[in-house]
């Protein structure tokens, strides 16, 4: 059993959430309530990783991470390190391929908030910021729980993009999903079976969390 790989998967999942939750909140809120030019385009771009083959995403990311590309070159000139085959590169990829899993549930739950509730808050003298904290967030929390669970599970499970961009480097980019593939190739089925069982369990927990919050949300809405 490759515990280091699980550590990397968990670190990747938590960092992805740490970056993605604030980012998705901004995007989801704008998509739910603002009408701006190019809104449809933004919505389509956010959904794109859902339908894009992981190898296509992996190919473009790998290209843009290389030292002679704009992004990869900029990163290297600032940090002195290469973005491809590094944990940081993996994190950036993870944020991109998880965008729809985080933004969409949050956006749906913002959209479900009646406009008159927010208007009532403003009329009562609440600032935009306190309206957000006291009214919007508490009403939208089931969307956040879904986003957390889906992003977490999806980060743990993503394979194609991680293999292409990360390159199966022990202690750096070898996540649990990659380690399972690696163990199968080494005919170490016992380790592969153990790690698969852990990932299966985590996925069941994640999907239960999503279903339970969805049910609670339905019940509370009546």
Partner 1 sequence: MRPEPDSRRTGPRYTPSRRHLLISAAVVASAAALCGTPARAAESPLVAAASSLQFALPEIVHLFERETGRSVRVTFGSSGNLMRQIIQGAPFELFLSADESYTRALAARGLAPGEGKIFAQGRLVLFAASGSALKVDADMTGVGAALGAGKLRRFSIANPEHAPYGMRAREVLRHKGLWEKIKSRLLLGENVSQAAQFAATPGADGGLIAYSIAITPNFAKRGRSALIPSAWHAPLNQTMLLLNPAEETARAFHSFVGSAEAQAILARYGFTIPSPQ
Please count the CA atoms within 13 angstroms of the CA of 131 that sit on its side-chain side: 17
Tokens of 212: 């339970």
Residue closer to partner 1 by CB (options 77, 185) is: 185
Nearest distance in Å: CB 104, partner 1:
18
Nearest distance in Å: CB 40, partner 1:
30
Q: Name residues contacting partner 1, limited to 85-104 (CB under 8 A).
A: 85-88, 91
CA 204 to chain centre: 18
Structural contact between residues 97 and 47, judged by C-beta atoms closer than 8 angstroms: no
Burial class (CB in 10 A: 0-12, 13-18, 19+), 146: buried
Is residue 116 within the footprint of partner 1 (CB under 8 A)?
no
Residue closer to partner 1 by CB (options 27, 61) is: 61
Report the 10 Å Cβ neighbour count for 206: 20
DSSP letter string, 32-92: HH---TTHHHHHHHHHHHHHS-HHHHHHHHHHHHSTTSHHHHHHHHHHSS-STTSHHHHHH
Of the candidate spans 48-56, 97-105, 119-127, 136-144, the one that interacts with partner 1 by CB under 8 A turns out to be 136-144
Residue closer to partner 1 by CB (options 43, 88) is: 88
Is residue 23 within the footprint of partner 1 (CB under 8 A)?
no
The residues that touch partner 1, with contacts defined as CB under 8 A, are 7-8, 10-11, 14-15, 17-18, 21, 62, 66-67, 81-82, 84-88, 91, 133-134, 137-139, 141, 144-145, 148, 167-172, 174, 182, 184-187, 217, 220, 222
């Amino acid at each position: 059993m490759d515990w280091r790989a699980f550590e990397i998967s968990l670190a990747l999942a938590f960092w992805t959430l740490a970056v993605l939750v604030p980012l998705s909140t901004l995007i989801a809120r704008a998509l739910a309530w603002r009408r701006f030019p190019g809104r449809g385009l933004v919505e389509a771009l956010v959904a794109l990783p859902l339908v894009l083959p992981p190898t296509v995403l992996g190919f473009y990311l790998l290209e843009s991470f290389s030292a002679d590309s704009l992004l990869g070159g900029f990163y290297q000139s600032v940090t002195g390190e290469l973005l491809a085959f590094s944990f940081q590169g993996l994190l950036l990829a993870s944020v991109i391929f998880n965008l729809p899993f985080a933004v969409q549930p949050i956006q749906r739950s913002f959209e479900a908030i009646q406009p008159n509730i927010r208007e009532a808050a403003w009329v009562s003298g609440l600032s935009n910021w306190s309206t957000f904290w006291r009214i919007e967030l508490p009403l939208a929390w089931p969307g956040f729980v879904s986003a957390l669970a889906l992003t977490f599970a999806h980060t743990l499970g993503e394979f194609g993009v991680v293999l292409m961009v990360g390159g199966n480097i022990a202690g750096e980019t070898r996540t649990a999903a990659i380690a399972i593939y690696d163990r199968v190739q080494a005919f170490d089925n016992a380790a592969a079976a153990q790690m698969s069982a852990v990932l299966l369990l985590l996925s069941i927990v994640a999907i239960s969390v999503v279903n339970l919050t969805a049910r609670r949300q339905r019940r509370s809405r009546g």
